A and B are shown apart, each in its own frame.
Chain A
Amino acid sequence: QSALTQPASVSGSPGQSITISCTATSSDVGGYNFVSWYQHHPGKAPKLMIYDVSSRPSGVSDRFSGSKSGNTASLTISGLQAEDESDYYCSSLTRNNTLLFGGGTKLTVL
């Protein structure tokens, strides 16, 4: 069982905003300041969407944003589009310089 808990699934209609949460259930993640988010279409390479809680890599749409409150990090997707339908994973650096992934969230665009 992952020390990072994500909802198994979320859904939204085109144009809406959705938020995926990622809650740290272990103190192994320390200050929880180094959270990343990935989009993963099955059969393809994962894509980095957010790093260090809220930084966006170049080329990633500004419809994607990240935040954190306490031990819960969140990925928000605004203006939902059909192409956003995918699996999303959070990850966090641990005190032992290892990395944990959340269990993943399947986003369905209705």
Chain B
Amino acid sequence: EVQLVESGGGLVQPGGSLRLSCAASGFPVSSNYMNWVRQAPGKGLEWLSIIYTGGSTYYADSVKGRFTIARDSSKNTLYLQMNSLRAEDTAVYFCARDEPRAMGYAMDVWGQGTPVTVSS
């Protein structure tokens, strides 16, 4: 079964760091474009980052320079390293796989989400 399971969320102080993990099963993360998306309380979806099969990465302006997307093929896991966290980073964070047949970004498999709260 194709599945994504996020972990690593929690409470962190402003300025702190957190690393989210997204364990994949049923497909290799290295063979698919993989994304991170978040939803802040009462807000809409916000795309954060993507990593291509070749390793290229792209980020939303809101997290560029603070967040880093990466993957470990041996563990079949996607990561999001989040530094210099701010209150506005409080959200539920989702990892998602890109639909292989799509020409543009289109996320067909999603994790259940992991909550991150940035507060003192």
Contact = CB atoms under 8 A, between A and B. Distances in A.
B107 A101 contact: no
Contacts of A99: 35, 47, 50, 60, 105
A34 B44 contact: no
Contacts of B107: 36, 38, 46, 48
Contacts of B94: 45-46
Contacts of B44: 2, 87, 89, 101-104
Interface residues of A, number: 30
Interface stretch (A9-17, A19-27, A49-57, A74-82): A49-57
B102 A51 contact: yes
B113 A36 contact: no
Contacts of A97: 50, 58
Contacts of B35: 99
Given A33-B103, A55-B101, A100-B47, 16 more contacts: A2-B44, A34-B102, A36-B105, A45-B94, A46-B37, A46-B110, A48-B99, A51-B99, A91-B105, A93-B104, A98-B50, A98-B58, A99-B47, A99-B60, A101-B45, A102-B44
Interface of A: 2, 33-36, 38, 40, 44-48, 51-52, 55, 57, 87, 89, 91-93, 96-104
Interface of B: 35, 37, 44-47, 50, 58-60, 94, 96, 99, 101-108, 110-113
11 contacts: A36-B104, A38-B107, A45-B110, A46-B45, A51-B99, A51-B101, A51-B102, A91-B47, A93-B104, A96-B58, A98-B58
